[in-house]
């Protein structure tokens, strides 16, 4: 994503992402539970603010969904790997979701979740601080396919003084549980997966 010497316009993107983070509690990340870490734009901005971006890149092989790269208008220069979901995979992943709930999900979140769902053998997991995205993973029954940014940092043996609440394991687990309940009750689905 952003290099150590960012291109002109970085501040504009950073401000937009940070505003989105504040307003919606939106930070997202994709990572492999063992060795591969794939982080989208908002988390990369946050990692830069914390001064740990380079350490994260050293600790993990970084992958980023295609739409995040396009949105951020950054070139990877070999430091990150681009992931891309087919349109039909994204559509198939969310076909049963209620459109009003789906509207709360950013395209990058949709793509990342679809990648994790359709490449379950890869060991890739989706990580986010965004409420709707965490709930979506629970709603899809992808129990082992999601983790918090706090867990990502712990696995890389990185620590920060205090994370925003939406990036903690506690907040993540709470929202994930809401998604599981919605899967069971059918709330936020057009066609509930567990309908009787």
pLDDT, average across residues 159-186: 91
What pLDDT score does 31 carry?
34
Comparing 22 with 166, the larger pLDDT belongs to 166
Cα–Cα distance, 37 to 32 (Å, whole number): 5
pLDDT, average across residues 143-161: 86
Q: Which of 32-46, 71-85, 112-126 has the highest mean pLDDT?
A: 112-126
Compute the half-sphere exposure of residue 33: CA atoms within 13 Å on the CB side of its CA: 12
pLDDT, average across residues 150-163: 86
Measured between its terminal Cα atoms, the distance across the chain in Å is 45
* Least confident range of 31-35, 88-92, 178-182: 31-35
Q: Is 76 exposed, middle or buried (0-12, 13-18, 19+ CB in 10 A)?
A: middle
pLDDT, average across residues 146-153: 89
> What global pTM score does this model have?
0.65
Residue 179 · residue 139 · CB < 8 Å: yes
Residue 60 has pLDDT above 90, yes or no: no
Confidence at 93, pLDDT banded by 50, 70, 90 = very high
Residue 158 · residue 151 · CB < 8 Å: no
Residue 108 has pLDDT above 60, yes or no: yes
Kindly give the residue spans of alpha helices, DSSP state H, lying in 60-196: 66-72, 87-94, 99-102, 107-118, 131-139, 149-155, 169-185
Residue 29 · residue 46 · CB < 8 Å: no
What pLDDT score does 42 carry?
65
What pLDDT score does 78 carry?
60
Percentage above 90 pLDDT, the chain? 29
What pLDDT score does 174 carry?
96
**Residue written as tokens 């150590």?**
4
Q: Is 17 exposed, middle or buried (0-12, 13-18, 19+ CB in 10 A)?
A: buried
CB atoms within 10 A of CB 23: 8
Confidence at 120, pLDDT banded by 50, 70, 90 = confident
**Token pair recorded at residue 26:** 């939106």
What is the domain partition of the chain in residue ranges? Answer: 11-185
Confidence at 106, pLDDT banded by 50, 70, 90 = confident
pLDDT, average across residues 154-163: 85
């Amino acid at each position: 994503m952003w290099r150590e010497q960012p291109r002109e316009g970085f501040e504009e993107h950073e401000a937009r992402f940070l505003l989105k983070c504040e307003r919606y509690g939106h930070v997202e990340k994709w990572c492999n539970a063992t060795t591969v870490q794939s982080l989208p734009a908002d988390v990369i901005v946050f990692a830069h603010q914390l001064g740990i971006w380079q350490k994260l890149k050293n600790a993990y092989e970084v992958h980023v969904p295609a739409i995040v790269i396009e949105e951020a208008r950054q070139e990877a220069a070999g430091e990150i790997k681009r992931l891309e979901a087919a349109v039909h995979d994204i559509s198939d992943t969310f076909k049963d979701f209620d459109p009003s709930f789906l509207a709360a999900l950013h395209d990058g979140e949709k793509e990342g979740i679809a990648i994790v769902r359709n490449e379950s053998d890869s060991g890739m997991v989706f990580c986010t601080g965004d409420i709707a995205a965490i709930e979506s993973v629970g709603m899809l029954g992808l129990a082992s396919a999601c983790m918090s940014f706090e867990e990502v940092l712990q696995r890389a043996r990185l620590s920060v003084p205090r994370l925003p609440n939406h990036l903690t394991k506690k907040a993540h687990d709470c929202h994930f549980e809401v998604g599981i309940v919605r899967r069971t009750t059918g709330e936020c689905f057009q066609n509930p997966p567990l309908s009787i």
